[in-house]
Amino acid sequence: MSAFIAKYNTLVNELRTKIKVLPHDAPESSAIELTCLWDTGAQFSVITPRIAEILGLDAVDLKKAYTANGIYETPVYRLDAILPTGYRVRGLKVSTGDLLVCDMLIGMDVIGRGDFLITNKETTEFVFRIPSEGKSPL
């Protein structure tokens, strides 16, 4: 099991952390660090076209993306993501999109593999553990 707690000094409406990404099955030394946004409203994870270019990823598929701004076709890439705990999510299929506040959006394809808890009072904290233990941490 791998878990982390992200703590913010205030109440926040965006959950951001650092994450590392690399081409699927590449050595960990080829990973780059970027800022990601954790989004429970997104079915799939998304990277910017710039990140796909930096990593030299080749498209493995093409799919339609449904967003608040409309529908568009996007290439699909395969990569590995290293979470803040060092846990490596292998073979993650991601699409590309214009992300204004981050380099990667973590969707339910990752969040749904683990247990996710958010707490808000005077500050915001969120906990993520992977793989899921099938029950609440409380």
Per-position DSSP letters for 80-121, written without gaps between them: EEE-TTS-EEEEEEEEE---SS-SEEE-HHHHTTSEEEEEES
Structural domain range at position 74:
17-110
In a domain, 4, yes or no: no
Q: How many domains does the chain have?
A: 1
* Residue pLDDT, tens place only, 16-53: 999 999 999 999 999 999 999 999 999 999 999 999 99
How many CA atoms are closer than 13 Å to the CA of 104, on its beta-carbon side?
Answer: 27
In a domain, 6, yes or no: no
**CATH classification of the domain holding 97:** 2.40.70.10
The pLDDT value recorded for residue 68 is 73
In a domain, 100, yes or no: yes
In a domain, 29, yes or no: yes
In a domain, 122, yes or no: no
Which of 71, 84, 82 is CA-nearest to residue 15? Answer: 84
In a domain, 127, yes or no: no
The gap between the terminal CA atoms of the chain, to the nearest Å, is 16
In a domain, 28, yes or no: yes
pTM of the entire structure? 0.91
In a domain, 138, yes or no: no
